[in-house]
């Protein structure tokens, strides 16, 4: 075919052009998968940018964002002409005179590079092709990438082809908009809007020529010309851009002179105010949506979702304030208790001598140090003992200090933590989520990631089992020593529980009194009567999901559970016996507001309305029965401004005062609070310092005081609901208020408790519909 061309040079040129065309076509078609992916016209018309997803409170205010590439798109008319002019003058002065590829600039740049003056020849459209369609990323490369030199030619041709397609589909202004929304500015910042907000706390339409020149100047090398890290280089580069703008008449000489002599003035306040940082709540939403995202093929970090949660910002604020206020006091109490002594102890109360060493061995860096130092214990020890400059969490704010790694382990091991969740049972909506004292330093979420021994907060499930199997709140048991034989893993065992005060009164007590006073011996007897396997069954039925070991001590909270599932289980009682699936997210939309998913209440009737109401009546016993464990709530006057207010609940304390719990119930809300150290060998030493009534209950009480004090919170004090159905079981059985000898030291009837015991309130709706 080519032999028909008589002129040899013309023939060679034709052959060259022919094979160039074939080569271009092969790249476009990815012939034999040699060249990798190239965007087609459908891709060009429907580009996908990595967009941050946003998560909101129930009232629509922003909680935070999820992103791999921190960007927020902006329209062309929201971009200052100063930005457009600076970009064109610096990156592509012939932008309006080419169709995507500027061959004049390409060949002149090659000549300049050959003469030692390196400069790029890519147009803005080509750079857009690279940024938006990732033409140089691994997925866009085929087998030819392994041939040196050829890879560069291939991806350059891909950029040309893609640039021609872009120019065919989009106008020049649309191309500029797409470019400015995708271009990286370093430090995980993408797009002109995000960059201008982060550096100048301005939207792009308000940028001055000097500010626009600073941002455009960064595009050459985002790290080298970063005004935060390299202000001198950034200033020099900014002035080069301003010079280009002057050269091509995009700025007047007077404006140039004014701008070039200005220092770079940054305003970095936006990042802190925008709420883009990580948090317990942000991570909780991520975990809650994990299955839905996977099932529906969405990426939380790239698809620009808008997620609306059930969290009430007012209640969340009051919960965080209550936690901060009370945890400061608890931490001070803990320090005063231990002084200079180390609080990590074994079951016999002896200090664990190798506590720090074991903690070091659990750190990810320990294995790397073993490899680095060939298991030389001396060098590893030296690493952990070497002082370093670091920032640490304190209740008075972040503090700069000099600690060794070993010092840091000791310091943080002594810090108490907490988890708190509030839920509205009738709607299933989670209103409050406090995963810990500070997410930056303690990532582990103590609401649904941590599981701890529930202590006496688990007792109500034994009483629930009894009420649903023939017993009534008025049935009586004697507070006496108990010995229960059982088989555990094939071995004969005997369980002989003590009461919290190590005393038995030998007094007959109603079930309501026994639960309100949290008497271990009666709970144990009741568990033996109804069956510990049955107690496990009912706990699972109302919402406990953690595995539970069916042994007699199950009713005293020997198993580990989470704040989340305890709050869910207690909500069953206020929701007329219906177990609910807690809702953290109400709906998800795309960037345009189209609803992708709405989450609605799912509930299941698991116990009768009668038993559910009787359990609420039992919970009130903690306040109303003599010696009730919730009576410390009387010390908070903000809870009782309305005389008719009723609060039910249950305290809980695990062995050795390791875990303190309070589960609080009002007419509208259920709140769960846990307090303790992350390491279980670190704990309080006495009931006066470490019981749930002294650690977790005050957080609940202060929180509810704040809620009740705010008329806009939507929650007011008031009585529990009247019976939802006819009550067939006897429950109106007032307990005798004991007369306490002033010299009595017996903790069964503590003077402090008896003094705070209110008159026993009886329901006028006894045995009525």
Q: What is the DSSP string of 196-252?
A: HHHHHS--GGG--HHHHHHHHHHTT-TTTT-TTT-HHHHHHHHHHHHHHHHHTTSS-
Q: What confidence score (pLDDT) does residue 533 get?
A: 96
Identify which of 177, 246, 176 has the alpha carbon closest to the alpha carbon of residue 213: 246
Identify which of 288, 556, 536 has the alpha carbon closest to the alpha carbon of residue 430: 288
Q: What confidence score (pLDDT) does residue 364 get?
A: 87
Cα distance between residue 645 and residue 666, in whole Å: 9
Partner residues linked to 653 by β-bridges: 660
Q: What confidence score (pLDDT) does residue 64 get?
A: 87
Q: What confidence score (pLDDT) does residue 318 get?
A: 98
Cα distance between residue 34 and residue 24, in whole Å: 12
Q: What confidence score (pLDDT) does residue 751 get?
A: 33
Q: What confidence score (pLDDT) does residue 3 get?
A: 67
Partner residues linked to 578 by β-bridges: 605
Which residues have C-beta within 8 Å of that of residue 731, sequence separation ≥ 6? 472, 473, 474, 512, 614, 617, 763, 766
Q: What confidence score (pLDDT) does residue 644 get?
A: 93
- CB crowding 169-206: b at 16 or more within 10 Å, else e: ebeeeebbbbbbbbbbbbeebbbbbbbbbbbbbbbbbe
Identify which of 764, 725, 476 has the alpha carbon closest to the alpha carbon of residue 607: 725
Cα distance between residue 17 and residue 20, in whole Å: 5
- CB 501 within 8 Å of CB 533: no
Q: What confidence score (pLDDT) does residue 758 get?
A: 39
Cα distance between residue 535 and residue 526, in whole Å: 10
* Parallel/antiparallel/unpaired status of strands 603-605 and 595-598: unpaired
Cα distance between residue 116 and residue 108, in whole Å: 12
Q: Any idea what the Cα angle at residue 383 is, between residues 380 and 387, rounded to 5°?
A: 155
Cα distance between residue 365 and residue 653, in whole Å: 35
Partner residues linked to 416 by β-bridges: 677
Cα distance between residue 337 and residue 591, in whole Å: 54
Residues of the chain with pLDDT under 70: 1-3, 6, 8, 11-21, 23-44, 46-50, 69-70, 103-121, 133-157, 271-278, 739-769
**What stretches of 367-506 adopt beta strand conformation (E)?**
388-392, 399-403, 416-424, 429-434, 452-453, 476-478, 484-488, 491-495
Torsion sign over Cα 533, 537, 538, 539: positive
Cα distance between residue 119 and residue 109, in whole Å: 6
> DSSP assignment of 509-560, as one string?
EEHHHHHHHT-HHHHHHHHHHH-HHHHHHHHHHHT--S----SGGGGGT-SE
Q: What confidence score (pLDDT) does residue 229 get?
A: 87
Q: Any idea what the Cα angle at residue 453 is, between residues 447 and 458, rounded to 5°?
A: 90
pLDDT in tens, 578-599: 999 999 999 999 988 999 999 9
Backbone angles phi, psi at 348, to 5 degrees: -90, 5
Q: What confidence score (pLDDT) does residue 38 get?
A: 63
Structure tokens at 227: 């005004």
Q: Is 79 helix (H, G, I), strand (E, B) or coil?
A: coil
Cα distance between residue 515 and residue 628, in whole Å: 8
Q: Work out the percent of the chain whose per-residue pLDDT is above 70.
A: 83
pTM of the model as a whole: 0.75
Backbone angles phi, psi at 396, to 5 degrees: -110, 20
pLDDT in tens, 323-357: 999 999 999 999 999 999 999 999 888 999 999 99
Identify which of 387, 389, 390 has the alpha carbon closest to the alpha carbon of residue 404: 387
Partner residues linked to 129 by β-bridges: none
User: What mean pLDDT, rounded, does the chain reach?
Assistant: 87
Which residues have C-beta within 8 Å of that of residue 624, sequence separation ≥ 6? 516, 758, 760, 761
Query: What is the C-alpha radius of gyration for the chain, rounded to an integer number of angstroms?
Result: 35
Q: What confidence score (pLDDT) does residue 658 get?
A: 96
Structure tokens at 187: 């430090």
Q: What separation, in Å, do the N-terminal and C-terminal C-alpha atoms of the chain show?
A: 102
């Amino acid at each position: 075919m080519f032999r028909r061309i008589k002129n040899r040079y013309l023939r060679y040129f034709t052959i060259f052009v022919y094979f160039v065309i074939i080569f271009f076509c092969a790249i476009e078609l990815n012939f034999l998968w040699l060249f990798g992916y190239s965007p087609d016209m459908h891709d060009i018309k429907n580009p996908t940018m990595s967009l941050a997803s946003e998560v909101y409170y129930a009232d629509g205010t922003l909680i935070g964002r999820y992103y791999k590439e921190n960007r927020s798109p902006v329209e062309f008319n929201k971009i200052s002409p100063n930005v457009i002019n600076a970009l064109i003058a610096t990156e592509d002065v012939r932008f309006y005179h080419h169709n995507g590829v500027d061959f004049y600039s390409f060949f002149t740049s090659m000549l300049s590079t050959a003469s030692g003056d390196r400069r790029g020849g890519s147009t803005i459209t080509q750079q857009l092709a690279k940024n938006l369609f990732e033409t140089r990323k691994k997925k866009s490369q085929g087998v030819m990438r392994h041939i040196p030199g050829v890879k560069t030619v291939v991806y350059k041709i891909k950029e040309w082809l893609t640039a021609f397609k872009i120019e065919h589909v989009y106008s020049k202004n649309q191309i500029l908009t797409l470019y400015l929304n995708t271009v990286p500015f370093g430090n995980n910042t993408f797009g002109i809007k995000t960059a201008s907000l982060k550096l100048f706390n301005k939207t792009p339409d308000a940028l001055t020529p000097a500010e626009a020149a600073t941002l455009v100047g960064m595009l050459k090398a985002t790290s080298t010309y970063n005004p935060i890290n390299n202000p001198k280089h950034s200033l020099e580069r900014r002035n080069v851009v301003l010079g280009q703008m002057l050269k091509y008449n995009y700025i007047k000489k007077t404006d140039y002179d004014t701008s070039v002599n200005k220092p770079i003035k940054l305003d970095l306040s936006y990042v802190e105010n925008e709420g883009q940082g990580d948090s317990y709540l942000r991570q909780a939403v991520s975990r809650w949506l994990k299955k839905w995202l996977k099932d529906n093929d969405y990426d939380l970090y790239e698809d620009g979702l808008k997620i609306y949660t059930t969290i009430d910002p007012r209640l969340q604020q009051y919960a965080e304030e209550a936690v901060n206020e009370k945890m400061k006091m608890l931490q001070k109490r803990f320090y005063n208790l231990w002084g200079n002594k180390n609080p990590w102890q074994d079951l016999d109360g002896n200090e664990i001598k190798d506590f720090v060493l074991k903690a070091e061995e659990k750190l990810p860096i320990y294995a790397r140090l073993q490899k680095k130092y060939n298991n030389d214990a001396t060098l590893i020890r030296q690493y952990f003992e070497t002082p370093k400059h670091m920032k640490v969490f304190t209740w008075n704010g972040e503090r700069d200090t000099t600690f060794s790694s070993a010092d840091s382990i000791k310091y943080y091991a002594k810090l108490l933590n907490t988890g708190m969740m509030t839920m509205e049972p009738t709607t299933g909506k989670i209103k409050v989520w406090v995963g810990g004292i500070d997410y930056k330093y303690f990532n582990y979420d103590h609401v649904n990631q941590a599981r701890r021994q529930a202590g006496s907060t688990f007792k109500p499930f034994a009483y629930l089992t009894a009420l649903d199997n023939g017993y009534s709140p008025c049935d009586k048991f004697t507070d006496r020593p108990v010995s229960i034989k059982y088989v555990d893993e094939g071995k004969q065992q005997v369980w002989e529980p003590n009461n919290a005060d190590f005393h038995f009164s030998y007094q007959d007590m109603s079930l309501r009194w026994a639960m309100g006073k949290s008497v271990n011996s009666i709970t144990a007897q009741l568990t033996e009567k109804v069956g510990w396997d049955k107690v496990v069954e009912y706990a699972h039925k109302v919402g406990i999901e953690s595995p539970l070991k069916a042994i007699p001590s199950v009713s005293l909270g020997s198993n580990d559970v989470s704040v989340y599932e305890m709050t869910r289980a207690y909500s069953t009682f206020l929701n007329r016996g219906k177990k609910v699936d807690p809702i953290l997210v109400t709906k998800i939309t795309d960037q345009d507001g189209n609803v992708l998913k709405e989450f609605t209440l799912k509930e299941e009737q698991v116990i009768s309305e009668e038993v559910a109401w009787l359990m609420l009546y039992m919970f009130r016993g903690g306040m109303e029965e003599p010696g009730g464990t919730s009576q410390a709530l009387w010390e908070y006057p903000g809870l009782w401004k309305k005389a008719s207010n009723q609060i039910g609940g249950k305290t809980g304390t695990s062995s050795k005062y390791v875990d303190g719990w309070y589960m609080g119930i009002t007419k509208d809300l259920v709140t769960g609070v846990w307090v303790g150290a992350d390491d279980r060998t670190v704990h309080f030493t006495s009931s006066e310092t470490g019981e749930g009534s002294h650690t977790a209950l005050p957080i609940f009480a202060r929180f509810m005081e704040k809620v009740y004090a705010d008329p806009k919170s939507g929650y007011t004090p008031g009585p529990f609901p009247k019976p939802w159905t006819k009550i067939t079981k006897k429950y109106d059985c007032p307990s005798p208020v004991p007369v306490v000898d002033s010299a009595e030291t017996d903790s069964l009837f503590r003077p402090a408790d008896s003094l705070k015991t209110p008159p026993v309130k009886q329901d006028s709706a006894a045995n009525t519909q």
